[in-house]
Amino acid sequence: MGIYLGLDSSTQSLKAMIVDSSSGKILYSESLNFGADLPLFRCPSGFLENPDPLVRHSDPMMWLAAMDLLFSRMKQKNAPLSLVEGISGSGQQHGSVFLNSSFTDKLKNLDPSKELIPQLESTLAMKTSPIWMDSSTGEEVREISERFGSRLQSDTGSPAIERFTGPQIRKVWKKSPEIYANTSVIHLVSSFLASVLCGENSPIDFGDGAGMNLLNLKTLSWDKDIVEFTAPGLLNKLPPVKKSSSIAGKLHSYFTKYGLKEGIPVNLWSGDNPCSLIGTGASKPGTAVISLGTSDTFFAAMSRPVTDPDGCGHVFGNPADGFMSLICFKNGSLAREKVRERFALDFKTFDNIAYAIPAGNNGNLMLPYYIPEITPLVMQEGVRMSGALNFVSGDADPAAYVRAIMEAQAMSMKIHSAWLGEDFKRIRVTGGASKSRILCEIIANVFQADVEKISVPDSAALGAAMRAANACGGVAWSELEEKFTKASEIIHPDTYVASVYKNMIEQYIKFENTITK
């Protein structure tokens, strides 16, 4: 038992959470937004603007600046950093950092009198990092798919995916061979930030490593044939892959200037989705989780690894052992925010206005692809409509519009999670938009399942802190879940609208097929 720190580097922010595993209390939390707090990096939504909408990169130095700034704020506010006995973290999945041969030595010799950027900026072999939103690797995906066929999905848990790290690395090798040749190590966001904390290269954990198209889930090791085809010599540039409960190293003395104790253990960081699985108390099969964030994700622990025949769903490692499914919908809060902005609605009005429209939206359907979508695969962005509702003209009904996007997103989750073969009766919601009562009610009614909110919306940061308690302090998962992840509110489905949504889903499938088939 003790006090542990969880960090979460997501698309748009860096969060910290300190928990007491003995009392089950959250002692402190802090968050900063990249766009608002670090405007000099020109990433208002967490990524750099690019004329090609398929290209989405971030500045990895922004993540380091965020770490220094976050710890500085925590120190100024007297956060109990000196009591922390172990650290773990969560990183946005699929982001990659290309580093040169100076990275290892400069990590080891970090100087506390300086900030991280001036010491590590020169270690970048590539100045920007492709992140999960990048869909510019269609050519590389086709090449990998043609070479390995169905084996890729059966062995790695996913077909070749544009935003996954393997195709991203292949693109760099093909299009920027000088950068690839100058690269000594390629980290994920998670292992990159864990390395900075330790002052040495961190391994990659099974949970995050599975999102690369490179990890063989049957052997839990890098698949040598796939790795070598992706880019010659890549095996020598990848960190080792290890079990999620492994210790990456000991905290570097650099961080003592913020009040942390030198040498405390740092657990391997994992991806934000595996950490959210832990932070929502869903580490065992039977409970689904919907994370309503920048993207929306649907995930659940798996009793056995099965793959999605449509190639939209994925299999990752479960930090509590075993596997987990994951389905990502890029048009999550980004799309909801577009609707809110269109009608100049404040958050409270946005959440309440849809109550004016009955369930089923009088038969009106929307395909809300404000950005290219990955579930289902729709490369051309655009909002499409079916029914009488006018989605295009300036006199569109904002209440119907808001309900349309919420129902569309809930139905898409229901449709594209059917491959799991489970009729989930309990769904836990997390992420910023989980605060929306109407959105949670729509999810409950579409799935005809209880929707449970937890008291801590930042499930990835909480999951990271719980992982630190388990890996560094030996606290059992069952004890941590009992203390930190009890439901704070349960929203029951309205059985009277079950038939409404059953019929609506059938119509939605036909409507979606006009775009995807």
Domain residue ranges in the chain: 3-268, 280-454+486-517
Q: Which residues of 286-304 are buried (b: 16+ CB within 10 A; e: fewer)?
A: ebbbbbbbbbbbbbbbbee
Answer yes or no: are the C-beta atoms of 105 and 26 closer than 8 Å: no
Confidence of residue 303 (pLDDT cuts 50, 70, 90): confident
Look up residue 396 and give its DSSP letter. Answer: -
Identical fold for domains 3-268 and 280-454+486-517, yes or no, is: yes
Q: Compute the distance between CA of residue 209 and CA of residue 222 in angstroms, rounded to an integer.
A: 9
pLDDT tens string 164-184: 999 999 999 999 999 999 999
**Range 491-515 average pLDDT:** 96
Answer yes or no: are the C-beta atoms of 194 and 202 closer than 8 Å: yes
In this prediction, residue 325 carries a pLDDT of 95
Helix (H) or strand (E) holding 491: strand 487-491
CA quadruple 89, 90, 92, 98: dihedral positive or negative?
Answer: positive
Give SS3 for 493. Answer: coil
Q: Compute the distance between CA of residue 327 and CA of residue 298 in angstroms, rounded to an integer.
A: 5
Q: Compute the distance between CA of residue 501 and CA of residue 93 in angstroms, rounded to an integer.
A: 32
In this prediction, residue 110 carries a pLDDT of 98
Within a 10 A sphere around the Cβ of 319, how many other Cβ atoms?
Answer: 32
Pairing of strands 86-91, 57-58: unpaired
Give SS3 for 377. Answer: strand
Residue type, 468: A
Q: What is the 3-state secondary structure (H, E, C) of 419-470?
A: HHCCCCCEEEEECHHHHCHHHHHHHHHHHCCEEEEECCCCHHHHHHHHHHHH
Closest CA to 3 of 87, 63, 71: 87
Q: Is the pLDDT of residue 385 over 90?
A: no
**Range 107-123 average pLDDT:** 98
Q: Is the pLDDT of residue 88 over 60?
A: yes
The share of the chain scoring above pLDDT 70, in percent, equals 98
Confidence of residue 249 (pLDDT cuts 50, 70, 90): very high
pLDDT tens string 193-224: 999 999 999 999 999 999 999 999 999 999 99
Q: Compute the distance between CA of residue 366 and CA of residue 397 in angstroms, rounded to an integer.
A: 13
Count of alpha carbons within 13 angstroms of residue 293, beta-carbon side: 23
Please provide the size of the chain in residues: 517
In this prediction, residue 392 carries a pLDDT of 53
Residue partners of 383: CB distance under 8 A and separation at least 6: 366, 367, 368, 369, 370, 391
Q: Compute the distance between CA of residue 66 and CA of residue 232 in angstroms, rounded to an integer.
A: 34
**Range 136-165 average pLDDT:** 95
The share of the chain scoring above pLDDT 90, in percent, equals 86
Judging by beta carbons within 10 Å of its beta carbon (0-12, 13-18, 19+), is residue 438 exposed, middle or buried? Answer: middle
In this prediction, residue 80 carries a pLDDT of 98
Alpha-helix runs per DSSP H in 318-397? 333-342, 347-353
Token output for 331: 């048009």
**Range 348-360 average pLDDT:** 94
Cα dist from 344 to 7, 125, 331, 433, whole Å: 33, 43, 19, 18
pLDDT tens string 314-334: 999 999 999 999 999 999 999
Confidence of residue 296 (pLDDT cuts 50, 70, 90): very high
Residue partners of 207: CB distance under 8 A and separation at least 6: 244, 270, 271, 273, 274, 275, 316, 317, 318, 319, 324
**Range 83-91 average pLDDT:** 98
Q: Is the pLDDT of residue 239 over 60?
A: yes
Q: Is the pLDDT of residue 280 over 90?
A: yes
Q: Which residues of 380-396 are buried (b: 16+ CB within 10 A; e: fewer)?
A: eeebebbbebebeeeeb
Q: Is the pLDDT of residue 390 over 60?
A: no
Confidence of residue 380 (pLDDT cuts 50, 70, 90): confident
**Domain topology for 280-454+486-517:** Nucleotidyltransferase; domain 5 (3.30.420)
**Range 408-422 average pLDDT:** 95
In this prediction, residue 393 carries a pLDDT of 55
Q: Is the pLDDT of residue 394 over 60?
A: no
Mean pLDDT of the chain: 94
In this prediction, residue 388 carries a pLDDT of 60
Token output for 206: 């099974």
Which residue has 């979508």 as its token pair?
Answer: 373
**Domain topology for 3-268:** Nucleotidyltransferase; domain 5 (3.30.420)
In this prediction, residue 65 carries a pLDDT of 98
**Range 85-101 average pLDDT:** 97
Residue type, 488: S
Token output for 491: 């929203």
Closest CA to 96 of 232, 187, 217: 187
In this prediction, residue 389 carries a pLDDT of 58
434 versus 259: which is more confidently predicted? 259
Sheet strands (E) in 13-102: 13-20, 25-33, 57-58, 86-91, 96-99
In this prediction, residue 333 carries a pLDDT of 93
